[in-house]
Amino acid sequence: MKLVGVVLKDRSKKSVSIAGILKKYLDSKKIGYITIHSKVGEIDEKTKRRIPDCDLAVALGGDGTLLFASRKFSPWGIPIVGINLGGLGFITEFRESELLECMECVVGKTPAFESRMMIDVNVYRNRKKVWSSAGLNDLVISTGGISRLILLEVSSGKHLIGTYRSDGIIVATPTGSTAYSLSAGGPLLDPSMRAFVISPICPHSLGIRPMVVPSEETIRIRVISKDREINATLDGQVAFELKDADEVRVTRSEMITRLISLGKRSFYDIVREKLSWKG
């Protein structure tokens, strides 16, 4: 191992402090590192050029920091270690106290990792692609400004699911099923699955319910709302303003996020702990 990407939670003194411990460890092993703050769009060109050379990324923060790291490092197949520095974290497997233990298990070895499905999101306007991005957790289409109901026509593959009259809709990966989708009443999915969760946000009908559909299909969402402020947000961090008649397409990405795992905690262990289920 020659180079590690150290990703810090933006504006977090604690992550800076923990990064200091990590950097001392890397110095002792004569391993180089680059430092990135998880603020969207603020990475200098020199650091960007070095990202593909990294052998590992370490995200110091919470799930949001790891989601940021995923978009930056996953295009290059670089595995990520998620260190949770407090709060509710479903994706960050390791606690702060396990940082150095984890690094000892990773440096100079071939550690096991979990492959997490990602999504590609493309927006079409008048049949032309006007925006695209990739994410690990979810796509959220929702109103901005004054809260008003919007109409969204939703299809999966060749099949029309229906027209949702709601505050919006969430299309989540299995990894993202523990995030906003869960709060909106969606089901929990084992992250090893390959599927989408479609969860309406406050639907104006008791008959509309979350659905799980195969990830082999393309989810199409057509906006049918004029004079509305509507945004498409990916992983809660990257946003694009939608207009009436725009079509949003969600597909399973060819990219995956590789999360280092030492097998100490399963997905079910983490869910049981975070949701306070008694074991």
pTM: 0.93
Are residue 122 and residue 150 in the same domain, yes or no?
yes
Total structural domains within the chain: 2
Output the pLDDT for position 41.
Answer: 64
Phi-psi region of 275 (alpha: psi -120 to 50; beta: other; left: phi over 0): alpha
Whether pLDDT at 50 is above 80? yes
Give tens-digit pLDDT for 174-220: 999 999 999 999 999 999 999 999 999 999 988 889 999 999 999 99
Alpha-helical runs (H) found in 91-234: 99-106, 180-183
**Distance of alpha carbon 266 from alpha carbon 23, whole angstroms:** 28
Identify whether 9 is part of a domain.
yes
Are residue 59 and residue 163 in the same domain, yes or no?
no
C-alpha of 195 from chain center? 15
What percent of the chain is modeled with pLDDT above 90?
77
Are residue 104 and residue 122 in the same domain, yes or no?
no
Confidence of residue 273 (pLDDT cuts 50, 70, 90): confident
Are residue 27 and residue 48 in the same domain, yes or no?
yes
**Distance of alpha carbon 177 from alpha carbon 90, whole angstroms:** 10
Are residue 269 and residue 141 in the same domain, yes or no?
no
Burial code (b: 16+ CB inside 10 Å, e: under 16) for 251-279 equals bbbebbbbbbbbeeeebeebeeeeeeeee
Are residue 186 and residue 102 in the same domain, yes or no?
no
Output the pLDDT for position 207.
Answer: 84
Are residue 181 and residue 265 in the same domain, yes or no?
no
How many other β-carbons are positioned within 10 Å of the β-carbon of residue 78? 22
What's the distance, Cα to Cα, between the start and end of the chain in Å? 39
**Distance of alpha carbon 265 from alpha carbon 59, whole angstroms:** 18
Identify whether 279 is part of a domain.
no
What CATH number has the domain bearing residue 127? Answer: 2.60.200.30
**Residues with catalytic function:** 63
The 3-state secondary structure of 259-270 reads EECCCCCCHHHH
**Distance of alpha carbon 20 from alpha carbon 187, whole angstroms:** 39
Identify whether 200 is part of a domain.
yes
What CATH number has the domain bearing residue 78? Answer: 3.40.50.10330
Output the pLDDT for position 130.
Answer: 98
Report the pLDDT averaged over residues 101-114: 88
The domain in which residue 165 lies consists of 118-254
- Here the tokens at position 47 are 């650091």
Output the pLDDT for position 180.
Answer: 96
**Distance of alpha carbon 215 from alpha carbon 213, whole angstroms:** 6
Identify whether 171 is part of a domain.
yes
Output the pLDDT for position 40.
Answer: 63
Are residue 136 and residue 226 in the same domain, yes or no?
yes
